[in-house]
Amino acid sequence: MRSILNKLLTAMRGGVNELGEAVVDGQGNRILEQELRDSEQELKQAKQELAALMAESASLARQIRSEQDNASKREQDARKSIAAGQEDLAREVAERIVGHERRAVELTQTRELLQQRIAGLKERVQRAEKQLADYRRELQVVKTNERVLRTTAQIDTNINSQKSSLNTAKETLERIRERQAREEDRQTASATLEKELTGADLDEKLKAAGIDGEQDAIDNVLARLKDSPAQ
Amino acid sequence: MDIQTLTLALGDSTHAGRRFDVMPITGDEPVLQVTVSGAEETPVYLTVTDTQILCLAYLFDEQELNPERLNELHENMLRLSVPMPLSSLGKTGDHYVVYGALSPTSGAAEIMQELVTLAENAIDLLQTFEDYLA
């Protein structure tokens, strides 16, 4: 990932931004995509193998348990035979027990080897998954970069072809200010209109001329109260 | 969300009291120019890739800037990029841009929110950085 980012930065600083000048060439891109496909393939195979080995290990565990169960069952048989004085029968059962125990030991050894292979394979799967995520991220960066370059080139060509919309930041700012001024004017106008409709503007004018309806009312009440003093 | 679906959705909709004027930009890449009402001066360009919906608005070009204050401007742009809602600041070619990327699974409402925010942010940023123009 770091090498890709460095390549991109070097190319950008060098001004490789024109249309058709891909920063990481098509060849590099194809190599990345091939590596991605190879990793995906490897991961798929490793996972299938892992699943098969795990199934085999589970089957072995079942077989081991079965041999151990049989051995302990036969031990009871052997004890009963001895108690019944059937020495020959007990010997025959003992032979069976030895057979079960041997198979259990053999199967356990096989299973241990299998567990080691499973552990190794799990590690391989994890490595492949990590590598796959790395490749995907790299490819995404490269592809997005190319897309942005192609897109902006397309926008520029388009803007340049219709001269009217070719704007400098200063012209854009001028137009923003004009619109904001228009909006402000509209707001002022609508506020004025609202005042006129509610008569608030007239009240303001009267107040400014020293004619205050509210104050007059209070004065009138006071005068009335003074005319009829409390008894 | 592909370009065609989006063109139809934007043409018919309003979001937060805004209307959208959509114009396809001719060329090999699927690019839309979206003008947001009330922020017409800063059109937003939108393109859809496999991994993201990329929206961007142009701020200014390098040659429009006062070269002596470039470092100061860059520092301020980096600082403002973090708190700015739904937008980041960047540079592609000579263009300084404000942009936002959305998941390709985003719905029309998220995309409209992004477009409105981006157009407004572009205006605020232009006015904020006006002093750095040559």
CA-to-CA dists, residue B78 to A73, A204, B115, B122, angstroms: 77, 50, 21, 15
CA distance B76 to B131: 12
Task: Tell me phi and psi for residue A133, to 5 degrees.
Answer: -60, -40
Looking at the predicted structure, is the pLDDT value of residue A20 above 50? no
> How much is the average pLDDT of A74-91?
93
Q: Are the Cβ atoms of A179 and B41 closer than 8 angstroms?
A: yes
Beta pairing partners, B90: B97
3-class DSSP state of B129: coil
Picking from B55, B127, B113, the residue whose alpha carbon sits closest to that of residue B85 is B113
- Say whether A154 and B92 touch across the interface (CB within 8 A): no
Unique residue bearing structure tokens 């001028």: A174
Cβ–Cβ contact B54 with A under 8 A: yes
Percent of chain B with pLDDT over 70: 100
Of B43, B78, B39, B37, give the one whose Cα is nearest residue B58. B43
In this prediction, residue B98 carries a pLDDT of 97
Average pLDDT over residues B109-113: 94
Query: Collapsing DSSP states into helix, strand and coil, what is residue B33?
Result: strand
Please answer yes or no on whether B127 and A173 come within 8 Å at the CB atom.
yes
Angle at the Cα of A108 from the Cα atoms of A106 and A112, rounded to 5 degrees: 120
Q: CA–CA separation, A72 vs A77, rounded Å?
A: 9
**Chain B residue closest in CA terms to A150:** B29
**Any CB–CB contact under 8 A between B73 and chain A?**
no
When pLDDT is averaged across residues A197-203 and rounded to a whole number, the result is 82
Task: Give me B15's structure tokens.
Answer: 């979001």
Residue B19 · residue B37 · CB < 8 Å: yes
For chain A, give the percent of residues with pLDDT over 90. 42
Q: Are B126 and A173 in contact (CB under 8 A)?
A: yes
Beta strands in A54-152, from DSSP E residues, in sequence order: none
Please give the mean pLDDT across all residues of chain A: 86
Q: Give yes or no for residue A19 having a pLDDT over 50.
A: no
pLDDT tens-digit profile of A123-166? 989 988 888 888 888 888 888 888 888 899 898 888 877 654 55
Residue B24 DSSP label: E
How close is the nearest chain B Cα to the Cα of A194, in Å? 22
Q: Which CATH number fits domain A2-166: 1.10.10, 1.10.287, 1.10.8, 2.30.130?
A: 1.10.287
pLDDT at A128: 87
ipTM: 0.85
Identify which of B34, B31, B43 has the alpha carbon closest to the alpha carbon of residue B3.
B31
| pLDDT greater than 80 at residue A178 | yes
* Under 8 Å between Cβ of B98 and B118: yes
Helix%, strand%, coil% for chain A, nearest 5:
85, 0, 15
Chain B contacts of A11, Cβ < 8 Å? none
The residue ranges of every structural domain in chain A are 2-166, 171-227
Give domain limits for chain B: 3-132
Asked whether the beta carbons of A168 and A44 are under 8 A apart, the reply is no
Q: Taking residues A101-106, what's their average pLDDT? A: 96
pLDDT single digits (tens) A21-78: 555 566 667 777 888 888 888 899 999 999 999 999 999 999 999 999 999 999 999 9
What kind of fold does domain B3-132 have according to CATH? Yope Regulator; Chain: A, (3.30.1460)
Task: Tell me the per-residue pLDDT of B99-109, one tens digit each, with 9 for 90 and over.
Answer: 999 999 999 99
Mean of the pLDDT values across residues B36-48? 94
